Amino acid sequence: MNAPTDLRARPMAADVDAVVGSLRRDFAERAVTTSAVREQHGHGEGLADAGVPDVVVFPHTNEEVAGIVRLCHAARVPVIAFGVGTSLEGHVAALYGGVCIDLSQMNRTLEVNAEDLDCRVQAGVTREQVNADLKGTGLFFPIDPGANATIGGMASTRASGTNAVRYGTMRENVLGLTVVTADGRIVKTGGRARKSSAGYDLTRLFVGSEGTLGIITEIQLRLYGIPEAISAAVCQFSDLKSAVDSVITAMQLGLPVARIELLDALQMQACISYSKLEGFEAKPTLLFEFHGTEAGVREQAETMQSIAQDQGGSAFQWATQPEDRSRLWKARHNAYYAALALAPGRHAFSTDACVPISRLTDCLLETRADLDAVGLLAPIVGHVGDGNFHVLVLYDPASVEERAKAEGIAHRVSMRAIAMGGTCTGEHGIGVHKLDALVAEHGEAVELMRTIKRAFDPLNIMNPGKTVPL
Amino acid sequence: MLDPVVHAQLAAILPPEALLTAAEDTKPYECDGLTLFREVPVAVVLPETEAQVVAILKACHIARLPVVARGAGTSLSGGSTPDRNGIVLSLAKFRRIIAIDALARTAVVQPGVRNLAISEAAAAYGLYYAPDPSSQIACSIGGNVAENAGGVHCLKYGLTVHNVRRVRGVLITGDVVEFGGDSLDSAGYDLLALVHGSEGLLAVITEITVKLTPKPLLAQVALAAFADVEAAGAAVGAIIGAGIIPAGLEMMDQAATRAVEQFVHANYPLDAAAVLLVESDGTPEEVAAEMAEIRRVLTASGATEIRVSKDEPQRLLYWSGRKAAFPAVGRLSPDYYCIDGTIPRKALPRVLRAIAAWSEEFGLPCANVFHAGDGNLHPLILFDANMPGHSEKTMEFGDRILELCIEVGGTITGEHGVGLEKLNGMCVQFEAAELERFHGVKAAFDPLGLLNPGKAIPLLQRCAEMGRMHVHHGALPHPDLPRF
């Protein structure tokens, strides 16, 4: 596990050429070097910093992925895994060129074990596809980050989403993995047993490692029974504090609400006009979803309603029909596009802080004041049940000054959360944008992460420059 | 013998009563709950502050002296068996509950605090700490983190790793590191998960922030009798398959119920081949709805009798037999050997069938109690170490069970850890590529291998030399302590 003497991130051109030639021979039309495809694979969503890979390969099997990695390992050429490119923190940018492994054609659900409440999928299966493949089993996979991301990408970034408050994040819902290591070997971690105290928890180490320790090719997922009853409700408040305080009270009581989403007044205004929502005002708003038995859902909703009323919340507006619910959640999922429509021509990027629920009101109010002082349009949405919120900062991409202001906001949001005992990323990950915040958050522990990176990837070929750069 | 230079250094860090070197003082630390392995350390240190832990580890690091951290000493796998050339660092004096934050539903505790003491302290706020290993009256929370302990309620509420927010620990170099954080997520690699189940090989834990769970308004347990063990195993899968996650889902076979009945008089149906205990908790409406569904599934799965607890004393009585199963079985037989294999629930009937056949083949009775919902088996093989050949047969029986657990996609240890006991089993369960990653993790934290050497992760050559799996056995001290 000695550190190599030369960790050059940029490979030699001749080595890259040799790898590309070899991949084109082996993969024929599944190794693509056209500039359109390479550029499309050089960035996710979010801030527009890109790095273009030298070749994009579309493997179909674990063995093919292992073969590609072995080739890159021998030539010391970077390897970047790619799902569908919905990452927000620049995870897929090929900062030093290299080989992009697009896993979207590894898109089969391999097994569904209804009695064990689990299934095994290839990394390129998307969140929506998992649930389509589970149709008729009475089961579902709850993690929902909004975007129709791949399960491999969600595992790599430890994604969560709107119902993490009830079902946890990818951390709690990945039972095992198949991973291709930096030297091109295939390793199976974890398994189907619900608990194991044998060996270190490599599964959770790979979950959230953003492709820097290995490439996830298969995932064993935990599943849940589709609840007997689901209902959704909307409640509006005169100010942000009352809305957030309601959430804190509900969490303190341990009310098992499946989703609690906050939209601030500006975001609500954006959603009303973008998604043509009727009967709502541009006020701080909470969206709730309750899962359980008929009686349980009714009981939860009544408790939530009385908590909200104590804080001056409006009467609940119900969405019990599936169509009404999906319209409401579609409006929430389109919050990003709704925000963009507030100021056509501007770009947006999202912050991702998460704080202990007891500090959420303070953090949101300080952040709102900061945003108002800077003067950029910046709506706030939040998975507030778990203390995670996003500021969508709108800026003019042509203005250096505005981009600097926007980045300043993002930096301060991260640092504010860390100072309150929280984290700079609840679900989007570190990528290339939060390297400094990671150090502020974890201090000494980052050095340990770096040593682990060196042990797992001594040649520094796995997504170099991201998360924990060497 | 403790090196005189190190002795002087430790004596400068600790008061005299916190540095034990005389044989009569160190002997009590020679083993943990797995008494088969005994080693006397060169010294035992009992620090009281994190600064003392830092100074001790720095001194040991410089002197290249092995350090074995120890909580309550209830490990069942030899996780805290001393190293004969090293010291034992006992965290027994770290027993303060530092803070309880009812709003955030967390408690900050020191590692020597007993598991149950956290729930007792949180009770005033209507909260409790959910993971409940059966030894919770004695085991410490630091040891729970080190072993990633489970318990009856883990099916619904998760293992230790799901119920801890933050761990503060000291590396062998003396550097203080925090893993995780106060919010629900934490950036970067998941070091918090790595520390869970690391069996004292990565860091010495000095402080833990645990999550607290609101106490349910109501809990009820259903006791269901089955005419054969396989049907009971299939009922477990049917309950989970119906989308019900009970607060507890435990199983005992006839050998176990007959043993405990004499002990606790819980009025178990003794003619049943197996009994399931299924707990539901929540609001009264939720419990009523879930219990109705549980009854329906149990009946459809062939339960011959179903009783639901009418009040709290009756609920506790139904559970008392399960919690006392080990001491009860201990009274039936001079020796018993407990297995900790865990399997996918779907494989339960197959594995139970195999255990029954082997029990007959070896002529050794086997009582089965287990966390059925998690698929975590605790077969208890009854034997008499004084009978020629019994110990060998017992070991072979145990080996076969664990090999079958791995074959059906399970693991050799669900909650007791590897320690010294299951090092060889690790060679069977994991391939070289994965073991190499384990060593990479260890080297990142402790490149000299001073923290708890020789435990948990076998050297690659050990696995290469091993022809087949061989699992040792041992008897338990404190036979009356409820376990598993």
* Of B280, B272, B196, residue with least CA distance to B245: B280
CA distances for A323 relative to A128, A235, A319, B83, angstroms: 17, 19, 8, 65
Q: What is the pLDDT of residue A49?
A: 64
**What DSSP letter does each residue of A165-226 carry, written as one string?**
HHH--HHHHEEEEEEEETTS-EEEEE-SSS---SS--HHHHHTTSTTSSEEEEEEEEE-EEP
Q: Where are the alpha helices (DSSP H) in B222-301?
A: 229-241, 254-264, 284-300
CA-based nearest distance B447→chain A, Å: 9
Q: Is B10 helix (H, G, I), strand (E, B) or coil?
A: helix
B71 and B192 together in one domain:
yes
Phi and psi based region of residue A174 (left: phi greater than 0; alpha: psi -120 to 50; beta: remaining): beta
- Residue B223 at interface with chain A, using a CB cutoff of 8 Å: no
Considering the domain boundaries, does residue B61 fall inside one?
Answer: yes
Q: What's the pLDDT at A4?
A: 42
Does some domain include residue B289? yes
Angle, helix B348-362 to helix B390-407, in steps of 10 degrees = 160
Residue of chain A whose Cα is closest to the Cα of B419: A198
Residue where a domain terminates, one of B291, B326, B361: B326
Domain(s) of CATH 3.40.462.10: residues in chain A: 229-419
List of chain A residues whose C-beta atoms are within 8 Å of the C-beta of residue B414: 193, 195-197
Contact B183 A196 (CB under 8 A): no
Question: What pLDDT was estimated at residue A192?
Answer: 67
Q: Which residues of B touch A196 (CB under 8 A)?
A: 342, 411, 413-414
Do B148 and B32 lie in one domain? The reply is yes
User: What's the CA gap between B73 and B82, in Å, rounded?
Assistant: 11
Is some CB atom of chain B closer than 8 A to the CB atom of A295?
Answer: yes
Q: Which of B104, B191, B342 sits opposite A358 (nearest CB)?
A: B104
Are B42 and B87 spatial neighbours (Cβ–Cβ below 8 Å)? yes
The answer as to CATH 3.30.465.10 being correct for domain A106-225 is: yes
Residue A160 in contact with residue A423, Cβ under 8 Å? no
B237 touches A at CB < 8 Å: yes
Domain total in chain B: 2
Contact B187 A355 (CB under 8 A): no
Min Cα–Cα distance to chain A from B410, Å: 5
Q: Which residues of chain B have pLDDT under 50?
A: 467-484
CA distance from start to end of chain B: 37
User: At CB < 8 A and 24+ separation, what contacts does B4-11 make?
Assistant: B5/B63, B6/B59, B6/B60, B6/B63, B6/B65, B7/B43, B9/B59, B9/B63, B10/B43, B10/B45, B10/B56, B10/B59, B10/B87
Domain at B20, CATH number: 3.30.465.10
Residues of chain A with CATH 3.30.43.10: 13-104+450-456
Boundaries of CATH 3.30.465.10 in chain A?
A: 106-225
Q: How far apart, in whole angstroms, are the C-alpha atoms of residue B145 and residue B127? A: 20
* Strands A229-236 vs A285-292: parallel, antiparallel or unpaired: antiparallel
pLDDT tens readout for residues A8-56: 567 889 999 999 999 999 999 999 999 999 999 998 886 666 789 999 9
Judged by a CB distance cut-off of 8 A, whether residue B154 touches chain A is yes
Distance, in Å, from the CA atom of A90 to the CA atom of A49, rounded to the nearest integer, reads 7
**Same-domain status, B174 and B233:** no
In a domain, B446, yes or no: no
B28-61 as b/e, with b when 16 or more CB fall inside 10 Å? Answer: ebbbbbbeebebebbbbbbbbebebbbbbbbbbb
B409–chain A Cβ distance below 8 A for any pair? yes
Q: Closest Cα of chain B to A432: distance in Å?
A: 12
Cα B125 from Cα B108, distance rounded (Å): 15
Residues B88 and B148 in one domain: yes
The model's pLDDT over A51-91, given as tens digits with 9 standing for 90+, comes to: 899 999 999 999 999 999 999 999 999 999 999 988 888 88
What does the DSSP 8-state code read for residue B446? Answer: -
Report if residue B379 sits inside a domain. no
Structural domain for B103, as ranges? 1-214
- Residue A88 DSSP symbol: S
Which pLDDT score is estimated for A385?
A: 86
The reply to whether B418 touches chain A by the CB within 8 Å rule is yes
Distance CA B482, CA B324 (A): 5
| Residue B62 is assigned to a structural domain of this protein | yes
Closest C-alpha among A270, A164, A176, A160 to residue A218: A176
Residue A2 has pLDDT above 50, yes or no: no
- Domain-located, residue B99: yes
A438 vs B: CB within 8 A: yes
Q: By the 8 A CB rule, do A222 and A194 touch?
A: no
Q: How many CB pairs under 8 A join A and B?
A: 275
A199, A225, A449: residue with CB nearest B457:
A199
Q: Do B441 and A452 touch (CB under 8 A)?
A: yes
Same domain, B78 and B139: yes
Q: What is the CATH number of domain A13-104+450-456?
A: 3.30.43.10
In this structure, the answer to whether residues B252 and B157 fall within a common structural domain is: no
pLDDT value of residue B474: 36
Q: What is the DSSP letter of B435?
A: H
Cβ–Cβ below 8 Å for B283 and A296: yes
Q: Which of 3.40.462.10, 1.20.1250.20, 3.20.20.70, 3.40.250.10 would CATH assign to domain A229-419?
A: 3.40.462.10
ipTM of the shown complex: 0.89
pLDDT for res A253:
84
B467 in a structural domain: no
* Per-residue confidence (pLDDT) for residue A7, from 0 to 100: 57
Host H or E run for residue A334: none
How far apart are alpha carbons B316 and B220 in whole angstroms? 9
Question: For B214, which residue in chain A has the nearest alpha carbon?
Answer: A254
Q: Are residues B203 and B125 in the same domain?
A: yes
The rounded distance, in Å, linking the Cα atoms of A256 and B39 is 49
- In angstroms, rounded to a whole number, what is the distance separating the alpha carbons of residues B204 and B213? 26
Minimal C-alpha gap between B345 and chain A (Å):
6
Neighbour-count burial of B431, counting CB atoms closer than 10 A to its CB (0-12 exposed, 13-18 middle, 19+ buried)? middle
pLDDT score at B301: 96
pLDDT in tens, A86-143: 888 888 999 999 999 999 999 999 999 988 889 999 999 999 999 999 999 989 999 9
Question: Each residue of A333-351: pLDDT tens digit?
Answer: 899 899 999 999 998 888 9
Question: Quick check: A115 and B346 CB within 8 A?
Answer: yes
Mean pLDDT, chain A, rounded, equals 91
In this structure, are B182 and B73 located in the same domain? yes
Q: Which residues of A touch B409 (CB under 8 A)?
A: 191-193
pTM of the model: 0.91
Mark which of B326, B353, B388 sits at the end of a domain: B326
- Evaluate whether residue B311 is within a structural domain: yes
- Between positions 15 and 74 of A, the ones with CB within 8 A of B are none
Is the Cβ pair B410, A198 closer than 8 Å? no
CA distances from B28 to A421, B20, B43, B272, B359 (A): 41, 11, 12, 43, 36
Q: Which of B326, B354, B388 is the last residue of a domain?
A: B326
